[in-house]
A and B are shown apart, each in its own frame.
Chain A
């Protein structure tokens, strides 16, 4: 009875019908696909296209220049590009290692049971909530060449007999950037590792203790293996962040002095918006993307799905 009533009222376009279910899925996903096509895929195709044209400032709809590899040949033969690769590599290694070291230790510390733990945990990851630009304001003043706290501390502790020229010395500028980035980057590692640590059942530790495993052994044979998946993903995400970061370096040193802090990201941006070489800039950017993809696939291998 009900069935016939329903059939009688069956709408022409009834999405509840099993055969139409698929259609509904596509309808629901369509807006996102269209948006992504318009604001990510199309621009990305334009950028790749741009990287193969000798073009200064592109106009949409303007006649496109003939296909040319000149941007890439210029890149591979320019010292600037290789220097940027080297700086990026150094920064990625230093900042990722620093963030993981500090992040993992703070996570292990906050994983202990003690009074005030919630507050301590919030405090330890607080830099995560400080916007990058504000972090730069803080550190730029602490690294100030004449009255900065860090220069003064270095003198007091006997590391240096004068204020450190954070701005004009290549090495000092690099470390200024690295320290700022570690302060901003380690809380993410800490948050992720702490979540990972808390998902390890405490029985494992109890059992290991009964078997007489020392603190170090418990860390080595229980914590590390079980934390590895989370740590691996976190490491890659941190690495990608350093690779692509723009604001910290741009505002702190502008890539200088003498390009000693110019990463591939900064080079991409400056080629486009400082020297108005959009074609070259697109080429650097495309290569950066390719390097990012290859690096993370190599590091995660089959597990790369987990960083979605």
Chain B
């Protein structure tokens, strides 16, 4: 399709305008971090600081245990993703390859689990974890995040395994591979992109959690995750917006980096369920 010059111009103008509108809040986060306090508490607002305070990042990094928060988020995410993938891979494979009684019920269950509000599940989980003495430990997050991850990961992986022809394993088994061997040595390597997409998406889900972290870890500052830590920088009376913005940059960066570099996998994961 050929476009006239005017049409091209209009298209580019619209695209650029849309991008500016959408990305402005992200830009504003950066400007806020780099502004001096004087510039922040002044109207009209400063759209680019006269003297960008680049050292704010080093200062906030030193003043707040940001590395520890990030590390805790990482532990919770890696733990819950590992645990969930361990059970979801084999379950997804079983659902894809073996016709089992209750397969349809599983589907219905996944649907319900997707609708389960975290604010409801957090109530019984809180009493369960407190009676096991787990409150304050990162294990609570590993388990709680698995409640979000397992149902969707199982279903997503089943979808991926469905796209891999059964004949491959049959060939492997004819050559003397055991059924488990065929799964581990033949199917899993082929499904690697699918596994990566699922794990990546699960990681993002876990990283985004705030409700569970707030409920289970609020009294154990050493185990605070990034999201929980950042909200404690929001003061009741005074919030240092440049500090909290700088810290936010650190916390948003890992996910934004994943998104920018591995977008294809993530989007594959997002849309896998909907394009049937």
Contacts and interface: CB of A to CB of B under 8 A. Distances in A.
Contacts of A296: 115
Interface stretch (A74-82, A92-100, A170-178, A240-248): A240-248
Interface stretch (B50-58, B60-68, B226-234): B226-234
Contact of A137 (B93, B100, B110, B245): B245
Contact of B252 (A58, A131, A282): A131
B45 A32 contact: no
Given A43-B128, A120-B19, A124-B19, A285 B274 contact: no
A50 B125 CA distance: 12
A152 B40 CA distance: 13
Contacts of B151: 36, 40
B48 to A, nearest CB: 13
B111 A25 contact: no
A204 interface: no
B118 interface: yes
A191 B123 contact: no
B115 A149 contact: no
B91 A28 contact: yes
Nearest to B132: A60
Contacts of A298: none
B119 interface: yes
B160 interface: no
A278 to B, nearest CB: 6
Interface string A21-44: 110111011011101100110111
A245 B241 CA distance: 25
Given A28-B94, A126-B23, A293-B115, A273 B215 contact: yes
A204 B1 CA distance: 14
Given A29-B100, A120-B19, A134 B248 contact: yes
Interface in B89-143: 90-91, 93-95, 97-98, 100, 107, 109-128, 130-131, 143
Interface residues of A, number: 98
A138 B45 contact: no
B150 to A, nearest CB: 6
Contact of A36 (B42, B115, B150): B150
B15 interface: yes
B164 interface: no
B118 A47 contact: no
Nearest to B228: A133
Given A59-B131, A183-B25, A196-B275, A122 B263 contact: yes
Nearest to B127: A58
Chain A interface helix/strand/loop/mixed: helix
B258 interface: yes
A117 B248 CA distance: 28
A31 B90 contact: yes
A94 to B, nearest CB: 18
B45 A285 contact: no
A60 B44 CA distance: 56
A114 interface: yes
Contact of B15 (A25, A109, A149): A109
Most buried by A among B23, B98, B127: B127
Contacts of B128: 42-43, 46, 60
Interface string B153-189: 0110000000000000000010000111000000000
Interface in A124-144: 124, 126-135, 137-142, 144
A288 B227 contact: no
A81 B180 CA distance: 52
B223 interface: no
B120 A285 contact: yes
Interface in A278-308: 278, 281-282, 285-286, 288-289, 292-293, 296, 304-308
B178 A16 contact: yes
B227 to A, nearest CB: 4
Contact of A307 (B97, B114, B241): B114
Interface of A: 15-16, 21-22, 24-26, 28-29, 31-33, 35-36, 39-40, 42-44, 46-47, 50, 58-61, 106, 109-110, 112-114, 120, 122-124, 126-135, 137-142, 144, 146-147, 149, 152, 156, 183, 188, 191-192, 195-196, 199, 229-230, 233-234, 240, 243-244, 246-247, 250-251, 264-266, 268-269, 272-273, 278, 281-282, 285-286, 288-289, 292-293, 296, 304-308
8 contacts: A32-B90, A46-B128, A114-B11, A128-B259, A137-B245, A183-B25, A196-B274, A281-B123
Closest 6 CB pairs of A and B: A25-B98, A285-B120, A32-B91, A129-B259, A43-B124, A28-B94
Given A24-B179, A134-B252, A183-B25, 10 more contacts: A21-B179, A31-B86, A36-B151, A126-B256, A127-B26, A147-B42, A191-B267, A196-B274, A268-B117, A307-B273
